[in-house]
Amino acid sequence: MSTRAISDYALLSDCRSAALVSSDGSVDWLCSPRFDSPAIFARLLDENAGHWSVGPACPAEITRRYLDDTLVVETTFRTATGTAVLRDTLALGRRERGHALGVASPSALLREVSCVEGQVPITVDFAPRPEFGLIRPLMEPVRGGLVARGGAQVLTLSCPVELHVRDATARATVTLRAGQRLGLALRTGPVWEPTPPCWRPGRVHRRIGDTARGWRSWSREHARYQGPWRELVGHSGRVLRALTFAPTGAIVAAATTSLPECVGGERNWDYRYTWVRDASLTLQALATAACEKEETAFFSFLAGAAAGLLDRDTDLPIMYGVGGERDLSERTLPHLTGWRGSAPVRIGNDAWRQRQLDVYGELLDAAYELSPSRFDPLTRSFLLSAAESAARRWQEPDQGMWEIRGPSRHFLHSKLMCWVALDRAVALAPVLGATDRVPFWEDTRERIRAAILTRGWNEDVGAFTQVLDGTDLDASALMLPLVGFLPGDDPRVRSTVEAVATRLADRRGLVLRYRTRDGLTGPEGTFLLCTFWLAHALALTGQTGRGERVFRAAASYANDVGLLAEEVDQVTGEPIGNFPQAFSHIGLINAARAIGAAGRPPCP
């Protein structure tokens, strides 16, 4: 059973796949060549599901950081006899720069450990277990390293020191003295292609440097945000780029699957996919972080993946694989114990089968964020169909944005986003060639508005509620001012914000999604996204000081390398859920912008 804290990991990415490396130098998660590929290392979910550790063979004091403006992790080990520095990265394509990051990734995990003082004994422990631990590969020594075969991929480990293989695990120990370094590389490739050759240590060193320069060039291109918390916003922009599948522009919700929403519970989902639900908030965050090309690529991916899937008899898919796949059927992996015994471990996500009416608003709001001149005829036709679907179907029940796996209901947020769909469609009508539909859209928009104001507002509760004619609170009601449905100074908005802040927040000031039963066992943690929504909404209501304090409370749960999980455990205060979570970083960026726009700089 894996017990290591989720916050102990740092993210590596080549904008196609992802790895997580612990503070003591163990790669416990690697999916390659895509984010949603079967894991080669999955010790994150089971102690016996594979890892690759590089570190001192003696006790050490450990510190780490990302090299400035990069996703190259530098870990420093200070031992009684000397100091060693480990640098880890997933290689970018040679000389990739700027927005092209990830276009030609070589599927190579690079690791270089250097002794900078005294001498340090270093241990290398290489135990790949492809397909989430189902395969124990055969290992064959070759010149400059070894080759591991088993399953659909061939793994080539470049290692300039002798490796001893036993029980599908290769080990080596070497003492490095000041000035010496050890370069290692793991390359993956399909079994039907020639086996990737080993890399020499000098090549590993050069490619790490080239990858760092690639990330820095991207960061320089996206350094135009001048508002508060500039470094946090810039780093969150890099995390979003790192979670982008460069060939299509898709952005995954997180790099992992089945990290639970409560320890030992069943709320364990696969987040290695792209949600339409995230579209408009993602584009707003990308715009704030000056990621114009990423905006266009992400929207183009969503529009292209959904094209041809919208008609009178079908629901618009709510999520896709990074290549545009629709069928994401869910299954469990019973051979894995799960993080801290949190089973089942799931791959795939059956939420793809759900009806979520909010997706129409997300798509049209995302389109509204972009320059309409970029839309081709097929995209315009698709957006027109989405607007018509929102107008036709807004009165139907659905599962809501939180994908509650129970009976369909009339969720307020879904109605709100149908209102958004028609509001943005009216604004885009000239571009869509649909000015004749504006009267109908405007009439339907006002009907939705009336339903939200009369049936969504509960005077006794003093807030807009989770469902029409309901009594329960839901943090998604904070979206009312965020999407422009009501101004921040509306008394009902201020009352709803206050209700969320007092009745859904815990003692740390972090916000739950809701407190209602949702058909699943076990509690869940507070959501960092919802907490950033509260900070954002407070700024819109003129309470910028309070918003700033809520923002700082949420941002404080980033780990030592600035990564945010999905949630925070209500009892222990430990980050939990899939990691790192795009939605949390999106919420941070958008809340920072809103607080800056409110005119009050952050406190020192």
Instruction: Give the Cα separation of 60 and 321 in Å (integer).
Output: 41
Question: What pLDDT does residue 382 have?
Answer: 85
Q: Is 194 exposed, middle or buried (0-12, 13-18, 19+ CB in 10 A)?
A: exposed
| Residue 480 tokens, joined | 């009312």
359-375 per-position pLDDT tens digit: 899 889 888 887 666 67
CB 100 within 8 Å of CB 169: no
In this structure, what DSSP letter does residue 531 have? H
Mean pLDDT of 516-536: 87
Pairing outcome for strands 26-31 and 51-56: antiparallel
- Which segment of 141-150, 244-253, 300-309 scores lowest on mean pLDDT? 300-309
- 303 or 507: whose pLDDT is higher? 507
Q: Average pLDDT of the chain?
A: 91
201-230 per-position pLDDT tens digit: 899 999 999 999 999 999 988 878 888 999
Question: What pLDDT does residue 355 have?
Answer: 83
Mean pLDDT of 252-258: 96
394-417 per-position pLDDT tens digit: 999 998 888 777 788 999 999 999
Question: What pLDDT does residue 448 have?
Answer: 98
| Residue 22 tokens, joined | 């612990």
Q: 182 pairs with which residues across the strands?
A: 113
CA distances from 54 to 75, 87, 126, 166, 536 (A): 11, 10, 9, 17, 42
In this structure, what DSSP letter does residue 375 have? -
Q: Look up tokens 């080549």; give the residue.
A: 14
63-93 per-position pLDDT tens digit: 999 999 999 999 999 999 999 999 999 999 8
Q: Which residue in 543, 590, 580, 598 sits closest to 6, CA to CA? A: 580
431-440 per-position pLDDT tens digit: 899 999 999 9
pTM for this one? 0.94
Cis amide prior to 580 (ω within 30 degrees): yes
313-357 per-position pLDDT tens digit: 677 888 899 999 989 999 999 999 999 999 999 999 988 888 889
293-310 per-position pLDDT tens digit: 788 888 888 877 876 655
| Residue 308 tokens, joined | 């041809």
Instruction: Give the Cα separation of 282 and 298 in Å (integer).
Output: 9
**CB-hemisphere CA count at 13 Å for 439?**
1
Q: Look up tokens 């522009």; give the residue.
A: 249
Runs of H (alpha helix) within 74-161: 130-133
CA 155 to chain centre: 27
Question: What pLDDT does residue 290 have?
Answer: 65
561-592 per-position pLDDT tens digit: 999 999 999 989 999 999 999 999 999 999 99
Q: Which residue in 537, 536, 530 sits closest to 577, CA to CA? A: 530
Secondary structure (3-state) at 538: helix
At position 560, the amino acid (one-letter code) is D
Secondary structure (3-state) at 114: strand
Question: What pLDDT does residue 226 have?
Answer: 87
User: Greatest CA span in the chain, whole angstroms?
Assistant: 78
Domains in the chain with CATH codes = 6-219 (2.70.98), 222-597 (1.50.10.10)
At position 579, the amino acid (one-letter code) is F
Q: 567 pairs with which residues across the strands?
A: 527, 576
Instruction: Give the Cα separation of 39 and 19 in Å (integer).
Output: 9
The helix (H) or strand (E) run that includes residue 61 is strand 61-66
Question: What pLDDT does residue 308 have?
Answer: 64
In the predicted structure, residue 603 carries a pLDDT above the cut 50: no
Mean pLDDT of 469-492: 96
Q: What percent of the chain has pLDDT over 70?
A: 96
In 201-341, which ranges are E strands? 244-245, 250-251, 274-275, 319-320, 331-332
